[in-house]
Amino acid sequence: MSAAFSLYQSRDSGLHRLNPLTKMTIALSGVATSLIVSGVWGNYLLFLLILVPLSAWGQITYSFLRAVFRVVWPFAISIFLIQGLFWTDGTPVIDLGPLSFKAEGLLFAVISVGRILLLVGSFTLMTMSTRPDALMIALNQRGLPHTLSYVVLSAIQIVPMFQAKANKIVEAQQSRGLETSGNLLKRVRALLPLVEPLLLGSILDIEERAIALEARGFGRRVKPTSLLILKDPVWEKILRWAIVALVLALLAVRIWLW
Amino acid sequence: MVYLKNLTYRYPRGESDVLHDINLTIQEGQFFALIGPNGAGKSTLCYVLTGFVPHFYKGKLSGTVTINGRDVFDTPLPELAGVTGLVFATPFNQISGARFTVREEIAFGLENFALPREEIIDRTEKVMKLFNLTDLAERPPTALSGGQQQRLALASIIVMRPRLLVLDEPTSQLDPVSTHEVFSALDSLINQEHLTVVLVSHKLEWVAAFADRVAILDQGQIAADGPPEEILTSAELTIHGLTPTQFTAVSLMAQRTGLIDSKKALPVTLDQAVQFFK
């Protein structure tokens, strides 16, 4: 069976024990800060001085860095190439035949990649150290409808199972002589006999799943209780408000300096 | 406990009745098995007994269904969830997808009923023990085998303590050892908690060993109804496209070849077969 479609890495660490709302506040403040900070190296410094130590606290540094760089490097290369080579009226610093890298373009690329790094890093840290169901339960307790959180959570677990089902259908059709390799046209044609069983099968699965959920009282209009205990000590509540205040202060400074 | 009176049902856009004029009474604490060929209407009857017909599947319905004094057609589905429980054949589709460990998956229904955490823990632990799931408590439900997932599906319904448990081929994907575990657990639940069970199964050996009463459903009608020893050895069985248990078949052959007295009652279980051949 396939694993859940989630980046979560189970560890017994202080970061993992933080309330999901605290980690979400850190992630959202990381996103906001990445857009507020205007300096060339500011976002890189925040990544190195806040996110990397937090990942070390969570005992996930290696997998965290690997996941972040996997996402960031394709963006980084394309941004450096496009902004560096096609910056209009810039100062050439490296010549490549008819094209040249412009200093202003490269500077813009450094700033943009820094923003992406902090943004991706903030969310990766949260998803790697927070169980998705814990986050959703925390949000449910703050008023998020549990049907909405169900959609998010079931997608995380059920998408890989649908992928496995799709693979089975491909194998079944291949064993009956369906050609799935070759040029683009052949591959597109091969998709058609796969779509119908997957689509119809999935609709039937969804119907059964809805019945199974109703049989377990999912449709009841009462506020559900939870087996999972989410600790939320006072210091974490203060920390969350402090983070929000800090981001607002940064924003105010940025507007004032503008 | 369960009363069905003149029940007739046709699915939306259906051309004929799937269930036709069914009258049935099931006593509390009874293990009632429903057998019949494919397309007989067994699964539809399961949906009627759990309220999914008419609350989930609409269609043309007449007659009355009462469970534990409640009219199923007038009781909203979320209210029925604690009274009747349904488990069906496909284990994957019964996983909620909203919980990430076996323990939490079992607790999901109790959370929806807003039970206190202490009670959820108590009930969940007991049910995990009953269905031999304690060692798998921290594993993700999606990582279990088909048999383990089916035990989980059963545990997730049993934990809600329904008065009527409806099982639509719950062991079709289980190996013999897991099947035995499931039937034994159900048997002890019936004895300890007077749970009423309606079981749809093609595994007649197990039906014979555990059921108090067996009914044959064919073309939407009850064709025969009585004790397992009577129904599973009757001519009705083969008339409706079913094959007798191996114990009955061997014994019948022994009688036909003159090996055993033809007046002796045919066995349906292993113990009865041993006595038959003694």
Q: Which residues of A touch B94 (CB under 8 A)?
A: 208-209, 212
CA dist., res. B116 & res. A225, Å (int): 7
B152 touches chain A (CB under 8 A): no
B7 touches chain A (CB under 8 A): no
Cα of B209 to nearest chain A Cα, Å: 28
Burial of B88 (0-12, 13-18, 19+ CB in 10 A): buried
* Single-letter residue type at A164: A
B173 touches chain A (CB under 8 A): no
A182 touches chain B (CB under 8 A): no
Tens digits of per-residue pLDDT, A19-49? 999 999 999 999 999 989 878 899 999 999 9
Contact A216 B114 (CB under 8 A): no
- Strand-pair partners of A214: none
Residues of chain B with pLDDT under 70: none
Torsion of CA B67, B73, B78, B80, to 10 degrees: 0
Tens digits of per-residue pLDDT, B193-247? 788 999 999 989 999 999 999 999 999 999 999 999 999 999 889 999 999 999 9
Half-sphere exposure of B79 (CA within 13 A, CB side): 10
- Give the residue-averaged pLDDT of A207-229: 87
Those of residues 20-59 in B touching chain A at CB distance below 8 A are 47, 50, 52, 56
Residue A1 pLDDT grade (very low, low, confident, very high; cuts 50, 70, 90): very low
Domain ranges of chain A: 14-130+232-257, 139-215
Who wins on pLDDT, B122 or A218? B122
Cα of A214 to nearest chain B Cα, Å: 7
How much helix, strand and coil, in percent to the nearest 5, is found in chain B? 40, 20, 35
Contact A133 B97 (CB under 8 A): no
- Evaluate the CA torsion angle B147, B148, B152, B154 in order and state its sign: positive
Give me the pLDDT at residue A39, please: 82
B176 alpha carbon, distance to own chain's centre: 17
Question: Chain B residue with minimal CA distance to A208?
Answer: B93
Average pLDDT, chain A: 87
B138 touches chain A (CB under 8 A): no
- Give the residue-averaged pLDDT of A238-246: 96
pTM here is 0.81
B109 touches chain A (CB under 8 A): yes
CA dist., res. B88 & res. A75, Å (int): 48
Residue A234 pLDDT grade (very low, low, confident, very high; cuts 50, 70, 90): very high
- Give the residue-averaged pLDDT of A99-124: 91
Candidates B81, B90, B114; nearest CB to A208:
B90
Candidates A157, A211, A223; nearest CB to B56:
A211
Give me the pLDDT at residue A4, please: 56
Q: What is the ipTM of this complex?
A: 0.85
Cα of B166 to nearest chain A Cα, Å: 11
Residue A70 pLDDT grade (very low, low, confident, very high; cuts 50, 70, 90): very high
> From the candidates B57, B75, B99, B112, which should be mutated to test the interface with A, based on the most A CB atoms within 10 A?
B112
Give me the pLDDT at residue A2, please: 42
